[in-house]
Structure 1
Amino acid sequence: MTTTDQAALQTSTHMLTGADAIEQFLSNAYTSMRLRSDTDRPRLRYDRTDAGAFTLDTLEQTAAILDIRAAPLHTVAINRMATGRMQRTCGGVEQRYGPGDLYIATDPDQPYTVRWLPSELHSAALDPGLLARVAATAPGRRPAPLRFTSLDPTTPAAAAHWWDTYCYIAHTVHNPEAATPLVLGAAARLLAAVTLTTFANTALTDPTIEDRHDAHPDCLRRAIAFIDDNAHRDISAADIAAAAHVTIRTIQVAFRRHLDTTPTAHLRRVRLHHAHRDLQAADPTTTTVFAVASRWGFPNHSRFTASYHQTYGTTPSQTLRD
């Protein structure tokens, strides 16, 4: 096994041989399970990137058919088959998946069984609390917790968009320079948001009458003051709404109504301003544009440069040189 730490990020690789070793390892990594193999020495390669609120895993098992009986997972894991086949039974419903298929691994609160043929799959596991915060409308207005009503994507296009987002996040977090706390926090919320739009669920998304009524200038001023004071921290739309003493939908309506923007877009503009100031003050012999951009939550160099040029009429590299 190898392990690397980068800020809150941890990466690890494991090579396992034998049904008992694989069973014990997967039980520790996910949930209690029993495993049977049709060969004496099944093999598993397991790569994990742990970012705290989410994990990205790649699992490749060879030379065996594994039959697994597992306890409830109590987390939301989304799998995409790269090769091979998987058969999953949950809640009395059996489903089969092959190369390119995307699906939620199981209902988080139900036991499940899996027949896993030799294959490779990619998986993202999300803290249910993160999904609830991203989906939240108003505390107390929803009587039931967030629940996914289907384990399969709503459309092939939605599945393709989820996979594109996964690849973008994986590329970002595997870059040590880019994996700053602000970038990791934004990546977690992006992954949660795309999961909520890909799989049908019980989250409420439209503003209520109360949300629209509360979206007045006072709550907007409180939100802007909070953003100005905390742009250097990993804050979310939920944090901004809480600081303004309103719901997420209310603060979204307020920003759209009064500023024709969103809370997260305004936060990006404030962070862009801080990056601009840092570049003006930095020593070009010891600082790079990428380091400044990543510090302020901009891991994509081309997008940062385009936004910077549109706002300031020059490139960040020119600002740093000047």
Structure 2
Amino acid sequence: MNTATPVELTDADAIEHLLSGAYSTMRVRSSQPPRLRYHRLDAGTFALDTFEQTAVLDVRVEPLQTIVVDRATTACVDARRRGCAGRYDAGDVFLAALPDQPYTARVMPGRIDVCVIDLALVTRVAATAPGRRPEPIRFLSPDPLSTAVAAHWWSTRQFVAELLNNPEAAASPLIVGSAARQLAAATLTAFPNTALTHPTIEDRRDASAVTLRRAVAYIDEHTADDISAADIAAAAHVSIRALQLAFRRHLGMPPMAYLRRARLHHAHQDLLAADPATTTVGAVATRWGFANHSRFTALYRKTYGVTPQTTLRND
């Protein structure tokens, strides 16, 4: 993950160049001397940006080809997309534009928090069985479905930002990969789109014991890897909906809960074998993708009847 040093610019052309590189080709104009402070946390398949400006900026942006979710934290934004105008006040969450559409906006002074998500990641999180729906996911509106789902999206972004600002967590591929998928899932939940969310007849047929065995074998072989529900479903040759239904039908839990249990088992084995003089519970938890160490401790105690610290000390 790349953590960029905050940049401060006072020239409209320099601001235009910076934002064009971060999002898409754009023109930036201001009737006042602009001042923009910009910071990015780049995690590969997604990035978290913050920018704050002191002047009114008029921007014209070419199609993004990515998902860009904005929160007008203290600024206000007047956006126009294919004749549809929208005004976003402080606290509002919205898509800057639909990925294949240009847009124009007037950005008032203040702060905007941005999340840039690879469209392929969003499509992968929502993926169905190979060949069943070849068309990509399309977003139908830049406005969230409700204030509740918008608030959930923002809390997810805040959680992910905290993770990325923790060097230990940010260095873990398992944690960063999980964070990416949480953001993509929250975005799919927040904004209307064409993703299928309910099992089809084919999904119900595919939710078999054979599917479960294939999926469990894949998870057991790749527990230490950054794998997603889409990866597990692909290995089992079914859709994500069929995979989820198979696990609920035969094990009473979702597939990612099974993966978490498998990782907890490996963390337990590591703690049993570790030297307490050179190993910490936090390091083991992070290695196996548990970003929140207090939740790891609670889950561990519920599963094994003792704290991970007790196991590490071999008491």
Band of TM-score, shorter chain: over 0.9
User: Is residue 2:45 matched to residue 1:45?
Assistant: no
Distance in 2 separating the partners of 1:307 and 1:234: 21
**How many residues in Structure 1 have an aligned counterpart in Structure 2?**
313
Query: Partner amino acid for 1:36?
Result: R
The aligned residue for residue 165 of structure 1 is 156
How much identity, in percent, do the aligned residues show? Answer: 59
Partner of 1:267: 259
Per-residue displacement from partner, 1:139-186 (whole Å, max 9, x unpaired)?
Answer: 232353211111111111111111111111110111011121000000
- 1:114 aligned counterpart, secondary structure: strand
Tell me, in whole angstroms, the C-alpha distance in 2 between the residues paired with 1:199 and 1:169: 19
Contact 1:86 1:96 in 2 (8 A): yes
Task: Write the letter of the residue equivalent to 1:77.
Answer: V
Q: Does 1:133 align with 2:124?
A: yes
Task: Confirm whether residue 35 of structure 1 aligns to residue 28 of structure 2.
Answer: yes
2:133 to 139, 142, 148: 142
User: Which of 275, 291, 294 is equivalent to 2:286?
Assistant: 294
Aligned to 1:11: 4
2:80 aligned partner: 89
2:210 to 203, 215, 218: 218
Q: Deviations over 1:91-110 (max 9, x none)?
A: 11111111100001111111
**1:9 offset after TM fit, Å?**
4.0
Summarize deviations over 1:240-261 as a string: whole Å, max 9, x none.
Answer: 1111121211111111111011
Task: Supply the AA of the counterpart residue of 2:148.
Answer: A
Matched residue SS, 1:177: helix
Q: Which amino acid aligns with 1:144?
A: E
Q: TM-score, normalised by structure 2?
A: 0.97
SS at match of 2:297: helix
Query: 1 CA distance for matches of 2:165 and 2:183?
Result: 15
User: Secondary structure of 1:82's match?
Assistant: coil
Amino acid at match of 1:195: T
Distance 1:161 1:275 in 2: 30
Tell me whether 1:256 sits opposite 2:248 in the alignment: yes
Supply the distance in 2 between the matched residues of 1:53 and 1:12 (Cα, whole angstroms): 19
Matched, 1:102 2:93: yes
What pairs with 1:200-215 in structure 2 (closer than 5 Å)? Answer: 200-215=192-207
Q: Distance in 1 between matches of 2:75 and 2:165?
A: 26
2:115 is the counterpart of 1:124: yes
- Partner residue of 1:3? none
Whether the 8 Å contact between 1:231 and 1:271 is mirrored in structure 2 is yes
Any conservation in 1 of the 2:199–2:241 contact (CA below 8 Å)? Answer: yes
1:213 is paired with a residue whose SS is: helix
> Unpaired runs of 5+ in structure 2?
none
Q: Which protein has the bigger strand share?
A: 1
Structure 1 unaligned regions, length at least 5? 1-7
Aligned-partner SS, 2:9 = strand
**Which stretches of structure 1, 4 residues or longer, exceed 4 Å deviation after superposition?**
none
Does the CA contact (< 8 Å) of 2:98 and 2:140 recur in 1? no
Q: Following the alignment from structure 2 to structure 1, what is the Cα–Cα distance between the partners of residues 141 and 39?
A: 27
Deviations 1:237-286 (A, max 9, x none): 11111111212111111111110111100000000000111111111122
Secondary structure, counterpart of 2:13 in structure 1: helix
Given the alignment of the two structures, is residue 280 of structure 1 paired with residue 272 of structure 2, yes or no? yes
- Answering whether residue 232 of structure 2 is matched by residue 245 of structure 1, we say no
**Take 2:26 and 2:256, find their aligned partners in 1: how far apart are those partners?**
41
State whether residues 12 and 49 of structure 1, in contact with CA within 8 Å, keep that contact through their aligned partners in structure 2: no
Aligned partner of residue 48 in structure 1, secondary structure: strand
Q: Distance in 2 between matches of 1:234 and 1:12?
A: 27
- Kindly indicate whether the alpha-carbon contact (under 8 Å) linking 2:129 and 2:234 is maintained by their aligned counterparts in 1: no
Decide whether the 8 Å contact of 2:52 with 2:111 is kept in 1: yes
The match for 1:80 is 71
- Separation of aligned partners in 1, 2:287 and 2:82: 45
**In the alignment, residue 68 of structure 2 is paired with which amino acid?**
A
Once residues 130 and 139 of structure 1 are traced to their aligned partners in structure 2, the CA distance between those partners, rounded to angstroms, is: 15
Residue 188 of structure 1: how far off its partner (Å): 0.3
Query: Aligned AA for 1:271?
Result: R
- In the alignment, residue 150 of structure 1 is paired with which amino acid? S
SS of 2:167 mapped into structure 1: coil
